[in-house]
Amino acid sequence: MKTIKLIIADDHELFRNGLKELLKKYKDVNIVALVSNGEALFSQLKKHPNTDIVLLDITMPKMDGFQVLKQLKSLKLAIKPIIISMHDEGNYIAKCAKKGAYSYLLKNTDQEELIKAIRMVSLGKKYFGPKISEKMINYMSEQTISENILSKKEKEVLGLISEGLTTKEIATKLFVSTRTIETHRANVIKKLEVKNTAELIKKASEINLI
Amino acid sequence: MKTIKLIIADDHELFRNGLKELLKKYKDVNIVALVSNGEALFSQLKKHPNTDIVLLDITMPKMDGFQVLKQLKSLKLAIKPIIISMHDEGNYIAKCAKKGAYSYLLKNTDQEELIKAIRMVSLGKKYFGPKISEKMINYMSEQTISENILSKKEKEVLGLISEGLTTKEIATKLFVSTRTIETHRANVIKKLEVKNTAELIKKASEINLI
DNA sequence: CAAAAACTCCGTATTTATACGGATGTATTT
DNA sequence: AAATACATCCGTATAAATACGGAGTTTTTG
């Protein structure tokens, strides 16, 4: 039986080592390296080019999980990333799926699901549990509201509004007339479906627009 | 040699079990239970009343770490809580210290520091590493600005503003004059040291006031 | 290339927010 | 008992935001 070679990438040392201990008992799994950030992962990948899977955390210093996924995709490496994250927001899940993750597990997953995901992914199949899939679907519907819908200028204006600048100040700063800024503001308020600036800033802050 | 009896409370199963595996090698540590939330912790404490230490995560369902600390304090149990969190914000650290935590560790702590903390705490000593202490001190200076300084009414008004209500609407809702609300708004703006409502909502959102 | 989206600008009227400076009763804390 | 902080209210004036409705110029994209 061929063993599954995997690397664990997580900046939490306790989690990383704990995971290693957990996986020891599975004889078909062979942990080739533990790393604490994306950069370290890539240098390990040079030493172990035939690694099958990387268990990847999203939040890491230097180079986070998203960047890693992007890089892996562009390099067309054979390694299959499984995301292990504590974030169950559709936001994150969708992003990872789009960027080529083979699986997305929460950190409160049980061991059975973890090993199941590892084995499925090692066979080239993708694994997304029912809860995760649901989150992603729910997310898609509201997704349209946030990132995509604001133009660059609108985002810029929104940012300046949130810093306490008035319409006039923003106009001066951006070398346009106040009317332009008023229009932008009005459009952003309409797009985010809020009543006024106060609610706008709250909503923008909730969906990480500022 | 007397063993240190401890319970692990963390809603991330992988982390919980991983931690258990990690601690196995230390013969002076005896894990009596693993739980995934605060409620479960207290029912386990009834079964194991002479537990020495609980390794406690902050973010948990049903009853989070903060609530647990509060409860432990009011019940005056002998068990000593060690917080293991991924949050390194002074906010969290200070809160835990105030609520009676014996130690605060980040999830990226190494094993040596973990066991060191466990052993020190088991002797009744508190352990806060240098980084953690520093964070807490930095936090204290800005702490005054946030929670303590807003009155109940001011917090209430702030909340309503953030929901997009106008001064007039808030006045009607709270059965007071618009002037009162205007004053509240003005005072909150002054207290949080911002220029206007937009920046106010942003800051309030940043420091979790809304 | 053509269509769609984004960016820019204009006017007017109304509503809100902000900046002043002051005052009083109540509750809490020392 | 005295001091402090809080909630409440008042007036005036200015600045800013919001609601209408319209239109020309780029830029992006299919």
| Phi and psi at residue A188, to the nearest 5° | -65, -40
Tokens found for residue A53: 């899977």
Is it the case that residue B145 has pLDDT exceeding 50?
A: no
**pTM of this structure:** 0.49
The two tokens of residue A175 are: 């070398």
Tell me what pLDDT residue B99 has.
Answer: 72
Q: Name the pLDDT band for B1 (thresholds 50, 70, 90).
A: low
Of residues B209 and B190, more confidence is placed in B190
Cβ neighbours of B116 (radius 10 Å): 16
**pLDDT given for residue A63 in this prediction:** 79
In B29-187, where do the E strands start and end? 29-35, 53-56, 80-85, 103-106
In whole angstroms, C27 C1' to B194 CA is 29
Confidence of residue A115 (pLDDT cuts 50, 70, 90): very high
Residues of A in contact with B109 (CB under 8 A): 13-14
Distance in Å from D30's C1' to A130's CA comes to: 36
Q: In the prediction, which pLDDT does B143 show?
A: 43
The predicted pLDDT at position A76 comes to: 67
pLDDT at A81 over 60: yes
Interchain pair B164, A195: CB under 8 A: yes
The reply to whether A25 has its C-beta less than 7 Å from any atom of strand D is no
Is residue A142's pLDDT more than 70? no
Can you tell me the mean pLDDT for B76-102? Answer: 80
pLDDT tens string A154-163: 888 998 999 8
Crossing angle for the helix pair B152-162 and B197-206, nearest 10 degrees? Answer: 110
Q: Which of B11, B15, B36 faces A15 most closely, judged by CB atoms?
A: B15
Structure tokens belonging to residue B197: 């409502």
Q: List the structure tokens of A56.
A: 């990847």
Measured in Å, how far apart are chain A's first and last C-alpha atoms? 51
Q: What is the DSSP letter of A2?
A: P
Q: Do B210 and A202 lie within an 8 Å CB cutoff?
A: yes
CB B85 within 8 A of CB B38: no
Name the band, by pLDDT with cuts 50, 70 and 90, for residue A100.
confident
Query: How large a percentage of chain B has pLDDT more than 90?
Result: 22
Phi first, then psi: what are they for A84, rounded to 5°?
-120, 110
What does the pLDDT read at residue A74?
A: 64
What is the pLDDT, as a whole number, of residue B87? 83
Instruction: Say whether the CB atom of B165 is under 7 angstroms from strand D.
Output: no
Say which range, A94-103, A197-206, B74-83, B184-193, has the weakest mean pLDDT: A94-103
- CB contacts, 8 Å: B36 with chain A: 108
The identity of residue A100, as a single letter, is G
User: A47 exposed, middle or buried (CB, 10 Å; 0-12, 13-18, 19+)?
Assistant: exposed
Percent above pLDDT 90 for chain A: 25
**CA B181 vs CA A30, B160, B167, B209: distances in Å:** 64, 11, 6, 18
Mean of all residue pLDDT scores within chain A = 83
φ/ψ of B91, rounded to 5, equals -40, -60
User: To which residue do tokens 């960027």 refer?
Assistant: A99
CB B160 within 8 A of CB B180: no
pLDDT, residue A136, reads 61
How many C-beta neighbours within 10 Å does residue A77 have?
A: 15
Q: What is the mean pLDDT of residues B77-83?
A: 87
The total number of residues shown for chain B amounts to: 210
- Give the model's pLDDT for residue B89: 77
Which of A25, A35, A84, A202 to mutate: most B Cβ within 10 Å? A202
Q: In this structure, are residues B141 and B133 in contact, taking their beta carbons and an 8 Å threshold?
A: no
Rounded to an integer, the average pLDDT of B76-103 is: 80
- What pLDDT digit, counting tens, does each position of A25-52 carry? 999 999 999 999 988 998 998 899 889 9
Interface check for A18 against chain B (CB to CB < 8 A): the answer is yes
Q: Would an 8 Å CB–CB cutoff place A61 in contact with chain B?
A: no
pLDDT confidence tier of residue B98, bands split at 50, 70 and 90: low
d(CA B96, CA B104): 8
**Mean pLDDT to the nearest integer, B71-84:** 81
Candidates A107, A163, A185, A195: best to mutate against B (most CBs of B within 10 A) is A107
Determine the Cα–Cα distance for residues A95 and A91; give it in Å rounded to an integer. Answer: 6
B72 touches chain A (CB under 8 A): no
Secondary structure of residue A51 in the 3-state scheme: coil
Residue that wins the pLDDT comparison between B1 and B203: B203
Q: What is the pLDDT of residue B209?
A: 66
Q: Mind giving me the DSSP string for B197-209? A: HHHHHHHHHHTT-
- The distance of Cα B144 from the centroid of its chain, to the nearest Å, equals 17
Give the residue from A120, A141, A119 showing the smallest Cα distance to A26.
A119
Nucleotides of D under 7 A from a protein CB: 5-11, 15-23
The string of pLDDT tens digits covering residues B7-55 is: 999 998 889 999 999 999 899 999 999 999 888 998 998 899 889 999 9
pLDDT of residue B144: 41
| Spatial CA neighbour of A126 closest among A160, A97, A95 | A97
